[in-house]
Amino acid sequence: MLTIEDLSAGYGEGTVVNNLNLIANQGQVTCLIGRNGAGKTTTLRGIMGLIKSSADTLRLDETDLSKMPTYRRAQSGIGYVPQGREIFPNMTVRDNLRIGLEANENSQQVPDYLFTLFPILKQFLDRKGGDLSGGQQQQLAIARALVTDPKVLILDEPTEGIQPSVIQEIGEVITELKSKMAILIVEQYLEFVMQISDYCYLLENGNITLEGLRNEIDLEQVKHTLAL
């Protein structure tokens, strides 16, 4: 379980996200919804410690992450799938996956189940990551994060620029994974969110304005905010 209390994060002098509270439970897909510029990506970067941020509480199960540098947070159990995938373009698919082992404290082997989830990766193991298509890169980015054996998987707009059939596949994988870990997804593609999420937060101008279980949340308000 990832627990966040009073997270503020931003770039340079200003803050983009203010006093954000959020919980991501194992067994659930938690979604953070918001328009462009609402602070979704900033929130995730704050959780990873990639930008200047402060939080009263940033805890993964019982581990306090708030003072840790990024690499320790990864080792503590956050698997991060960033916006734009950010795979290592000059490294092979195999080496991209192996990099994930750096944050895996239990194993030094890329687990086989990943190739059941994403058969395409097995086929392209020796190809350069940069030569894959956008959808394949997204699958690689998710697989790479899973190699770290995370307690919470956080994904930043996994559907961005991906063709519908692959979005479908990714959605199925996420649903399959949620029994094993907490999953936090940042997304603005509402249809996808409504398909896979269990709990939703609505982010507006760096503040959470609405939250609730997927089937109880005020869909009209969410749509209204996203359409503004």
Partner 1 sequence: MGTIIMQLFNGVSVASILMLAAIGLTITFGLMGIINMAHGEFIMIGAYTTYVIQNLFQTYLPHFFSSYVFVALIASFVVAALLGYLMERTIIRFLYDRPEDSLLVTWGISLVLQQLAQNIFGAPDVSVTTPKYLQGSIQVTKTVSFATDRVVILIIALAAISAVAYMLFKTRFGRNITATMQNRKMAASMGINTKRIDSMTFALGTGLAGLAGCTITWIGSIDPSIGQDYIVNAFITVVVGGAGTLLGTLFGSAFMGVGDTSLEFLTNPTIGQALILILVIVVLQFKPKGMFSSKSRKLND
Give the footprint of partner 1 on this chain (CB under 8 A).
48, 50, 69-71, 74-75, 80, 82, 86-91, 95, 98-100, 102-104, 144, 148
- Residues 212, 167: Cα–Cα separation, whole Å: 24
Closer residue to partner 1, CB minimum distance, 124 or 192: 124
Closer residue to partner 1, CB minimum distance, 50 or 190: 50
Check: CB of residue 120 under 8 Å from CB of residue 170. no
Shortest CB 55 distance to partner 1, Å: 18
Residue position matching structure tokens 């959780």: 47
- Alpha carbon 82 to its chain centroid, in Å, reads 7
Shortest CB 99 distance to partner 1, Å: 5
Shortest CB 218 distance to partner 1, Å: 34
Closer residue to partner 1, CB minimum distance, 99 or 210: 99
- Residues 220, 84: Cα–Cα separation, whole Å: 29
Shortest CB 118 distance to partner 1, Å: 17
Which helix (H) or strand (E) segment holds residue 146: the answer is helix 134-147
Shortest CB 104 distance to partner 1, Å: 8
Evaluated on CA atoms 109, 110, 116, 120, the torsion sign reads: negative
Closer residue to partner 1, CB minimum distance, 86 or 204: 86
Determine how β-strand 78-81 pairs with β-strand 52-54: unpaired
- Residues 31, 154: Cα–Cα separation, whole Å: 10
Shortest CB 32 distance to partner 1, Å: 18
Closer residue to partner 1, CB minimum distance, 102 or 172: 102
Check: CB of residue 152 under 8 Å from CB of residue 60. yes
Check: CB of residue 187 under 8 Å from CB of residue 159. yes
Closer residue to partner 1, CB minimum distance, 145 or 200: 145
